[in-house]
């Protein structure tokens, strides 16, 4: 047994300990001479005690002689260098707070603010401290809406970590679009949402390549997937897409056909637009004396009309004639009217409308409604402005046709903000949620002031803050930083311990936090 080592002796001790010294003899010491001699000295008359003493000797010997492992061969592959400048110190501290989701001076709404922080930090091209990258990737894993920004901010180190942690695999898919081979793999094997994202980004960068990618696999895609892929073509839509969309008008799926028709109807110069214009001009003519518009609703939905996206039956049970008229007019290029009749949108809207057959005052509402839909679809600023009209005052309802929020979204940001501010002054917060949602963030100072004034009036009127929770949420995210002091003043003036006091207080804290966090990202000099 001379070849035995101290490790063998330990195994033998363990075997005896498990079965008991009553049943098994104490093993003879083995190993290097000094160890054997020391162990032999501990072989007292009581075998159990001797075993414990020898086991202690073996354990201490092993620990005291701890050896490192041999290093793995091959140099580790380091992460690619990240040339971006590092986040200012204060901003890095802020990110720690945002990722932890707590702290930072009271109950500000951090969940609302993290996405904004990420967008801002990403757009300024900062690199986060390495220690915060795992936290960023965890946030990206938990929250879809911050994923793209968090992953972009995490940069090459994020990818390096993701290659080593299966939980962060999504990072590789999110960033893989950069390399052509990876991109192809995503399109062939990726999850549906990843494929849509990939297609949308590719369209943004290279519309033709996006179209080619989609055309390549189009026949194999499922109908519901085809529908959403088609939607992605909205990005960078041009006449180059027309043949593909025309072909999609014959798709097996009704929804795909309808979406293709809608895209073509919004595409200036499309053949579908010209076909619709012909049908529209057959339905609407200018009276010989130019005094009114005469309407002859389309008689029936032909197979060709159906192919162009006109559904034969009204899904809502509206009058069949009115339905067909609306469908045709909404898909007609708006310049058809100004060009053919030589009138401005304002003049056209001012004209009386009559039924061509009996002269009855019909179809005005249908006509204006369809123009509004067309203005939204074609993103026609001139028409949208006229259709929307000036913001109504004194609580009167919105005059124009169509959904005001959708028309508003067509206008340039400053005009949107101005219109909504005027609306708030006349109407208060009641119907403002969608309009505010259509405005660009951060809100302009006049719009912000109007929102704060409306909140103040709502508080004074005795309304409950939670009936405006939607608007309050938007306000936390969007109010101009310069307006924060006004909110702080409201918080100070509100009757203490009321729901409004609490609401304004929380809003003020969130705004202050937001202002501070944006300032940190803006200035490289962190305050002392």
Partner 1 sequence: MDERWSTDRVRALTSDSAVLRAAERLAEPAPWALAGAGRGAVWGLCRGGGRAPYRVVVEPAGPDWQCGCAGRQRPCRHVLGLLLLWAASPEAVPGSTEPPGWAASWLAERVPSPLEGTAHGTAPADPAAARRAERRAARVAAGAQELRLRLADRIRRGLADPGTAGGWGEVAARMVDAQAPGLAAGARELAGLTGDQQLAGIALLDLLAAAYQRVDELPEPLAATVRTRVGFTTDSAELLAGRTVRDRWLVLGSQDLPDDRLTQRRIWLHGTKTGRPALLLCYAPPGRLPELALPVGRVLEAELAYYPAAAPLRAVLGASYGVPEPGPLDPPPGCGPADAAADYGEAVAADPWQTAWPVVLSEVAVVPGPDGWLLSGGQHALPLHPDTPEAARWLLAAVSGGHPVTVFGECGHQGFRPVTVWDGTGRPSSVTPATGAAA
Q: What residue ranges bind partner 1 (CB under 8 A)?
A: 13-14, 17-23, 46-49, 51-53, 55-56, 58-60, 62-72, 76-79, 90, 93, 103-106, 129-131, 133-134, 157, 160-161, 164-165, 488, 492, 512, 515-516, 519, 526-528
Q: Which is nearer to partner 1, 39 or 213 (CB)?
A: 39
- Mapped onto helix, strand or coil, the DSSP state of residue 85 is coil
Which residues make beta-bridge pairs with 286?
293
Q: Which is nearer to partner 1, 193 or 499 (CB)?
A: 499
> Which tokens is 442 given?
């951060």
| 100: Cβ contacts below 8 Å, ≥ 6 apart | none
- Closest distance of CB 194 from partner 1, Å: 23
373 — phi, psi (to 5°)?
-60, -40
- Closest distance of CB 492 from partner 1, Å: 6
- Closest distance of CB 381 from partner 1, Å: 39
- Closest distance of CB 91 from partner 1, Å: 12
| 344 dihedral zone (left: phi>0; alpha: psi -120 to 50; beta) | beta
* Cα 52 from Cα 211, distance rounded (Å): 77
| 298: Cβ contacts below 8 Å, ≥ 6 apart | 279, 282, 283, 305, 321, 324, 325, 328
Q: Which is nearer to partner 1, 23 or 252 (CB)?
A: 23
Q: Which is nearer to partner 1, 147 or 257 (CB)?
A: 147
- Closest distance of CB 41 from partner 1, Å: 14
Q: Which is nearer to partner 1, 63 or 222 (CB)?
A: 63
Q: Which is nearer to partner 1, 163 or 182 (CB)?
A: 163
| Chain CA centroid to CA 471, Å | 19
355 — phi, psi (to 5°)?
-75, 130
- Closest distance of CB 253 from partner 1, Å: 45
Q: Which is nearer to partner 1, 311 or 515 (CB)?
A: 515
DSSP summary character for residue 525: S
- Closest distance of CB 107 from partner 1, Å: 9
| 393: Cβ contacts below 8 Å, ≥ 6 apart | 422, 425, 426
Q: Which is nearer to partner 1, 52 or 148 (CB)?
A: 52
Alpha helices (runs of H) in 235-363, residue ranges in sequence order: 242-248, 254-265, 271-283, 303-307, 320-330, 335-341, 345-350
Residue with tokens 């709404």: 109
CA within 13 Å, CB half, 309: 28
- Closest distance of CB 369 from partner 1, Å: 50
* Cα 351 from Cα 115, distance rounded (Å): 48
């Amino acid at each position: 047994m001379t070849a035995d080592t101290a490790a063998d002796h330990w195994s033998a001790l363990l075997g005896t300990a498990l079965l008991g010294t009553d049943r098994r003899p104490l093993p003879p010491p083995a190993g290097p001479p000094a160890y054997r001699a020391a162990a032999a000295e501990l072989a007292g008359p009581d075998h159990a005690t001797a075993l414990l003493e020898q086991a202690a000797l073996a354990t201490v010997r092993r620990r005291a002689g701890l050896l490192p492992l041999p290093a793995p061969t091959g140099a580790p592959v380091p992460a690619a260098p990240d040339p971006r400048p590092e986040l200012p110190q204060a901003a890095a501290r802020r990110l720690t707070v945002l990722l932890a989701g707590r702290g930072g001076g009271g109950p500000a709404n951090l969940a609302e603010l993290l996405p904004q922080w990420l967008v801002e930090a990403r757009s300024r091209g900062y690199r986060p401290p390495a220690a915060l990258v795992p936290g960023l990737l965890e946030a990206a894993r938990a929250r879809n809406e911050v994923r793209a920004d968090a992953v972009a901010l995490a940069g090459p180190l994020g990818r390096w970590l993701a290659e080593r942690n299966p939980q962060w695999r999504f990072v590789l898919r999110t960033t893989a679009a950069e390399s052509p081979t990876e991109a192809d793999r995503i399109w062939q094997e990726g999850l549906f949402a990843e494929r849509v994202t990939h297609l949308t980004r590719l369209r943004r960068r290279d519309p033709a390549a996006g179209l080619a990618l989609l055309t390549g696999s189009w026949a194999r895609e499922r109908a519901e997937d085809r529908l959403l892929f088609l939607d992605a073509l909205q990005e960078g839509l041009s006449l180059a897409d027309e043949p593909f969309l025309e072909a999609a008008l014959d798709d097996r799926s009704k929804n795909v056909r309808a979406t293709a028709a809608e895209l073509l109807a919004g595409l200036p110069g499309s053949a579908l637009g010209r076909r619709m214009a012909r049908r529209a001009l057959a339905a609407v003519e200018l009276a010989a004396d130019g005094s009114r518009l005469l309407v002859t609703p389309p008689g029936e939905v032909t197979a060709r009309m159906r192919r162009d996206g006109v559904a034969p039956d009204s899904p809502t049970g509206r009058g069949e004639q009115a339905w067909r008229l609306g469908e045709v007019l909404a898909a007609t290029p708006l310049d058809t009217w100004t060009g053919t009749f030589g009138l401005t949108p304002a003049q056209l809207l001012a004209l009386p409308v009559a039924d061509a057959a009996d002269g009855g005052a019909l179809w005005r509402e249908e006509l204006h409604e369809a123009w509004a839909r067309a203005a939204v679809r074609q993103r026609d600023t001139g028409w949208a402005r006229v259709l929307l009209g000036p913001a109504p005052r004194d609580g009167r309802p919105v005059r124009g046709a169509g959904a005001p929020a959708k028309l508003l979204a067509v206008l340039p940001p400053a005009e949107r903000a101005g219109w909504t501010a005027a609306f708030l002054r006349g109407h208060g917060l009641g119907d403002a949620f969608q309009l505010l949602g259509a405005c660009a963030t951060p809100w302009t100072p006049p719009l912000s002031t109007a929102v704060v004034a409306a909140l103040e009036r709502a508080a004074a009127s005795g309304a409950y803050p939670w009936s405006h929770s939607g608007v309050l949420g938007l306000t936390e995210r969007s109010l101009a930083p310069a307006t924060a002091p006004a909110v702080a003043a409201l918080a100070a003036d509100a009757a203490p311990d009321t729901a409004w006091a609490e609401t304004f207080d929380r809003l003020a804290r969130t705004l202050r936090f937001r202002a501070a966090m944006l300032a940190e990202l803006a200035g490289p000099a962190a305050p002392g």
